[in-house]
Amino acid sequence: MKAGALVARNIRRLRVARGLSQEVLAVDAEIDRTYVSRLERGLENPSVAVLERLAKALSANIEELFRVPKAGEAVPRPLKGGRRPKR
Task: Compute the average pLDDT of residues 67-73.
Answer: 81
Q: How far apart are CA 9 and CA 51, in angstroms?
A: 13
pLDDT, position 69: 82
17-57 per-position pLDDT tens digit: 999 999 999 999 999 999 999 999 999 999 999 999 999 99
Taking CB atoms within 8 Å and a gap of at least 24, the contacts of 54-63 are: 54/11, 54/25, 54/29, 56/28, 56/29, 57/25, 57/28, 57/29, 58/11, 58/14, 58/15, 58/18, 58/20, 58/25, 59/18, 60/14
Higher pLDDT, 59 or 81: 59
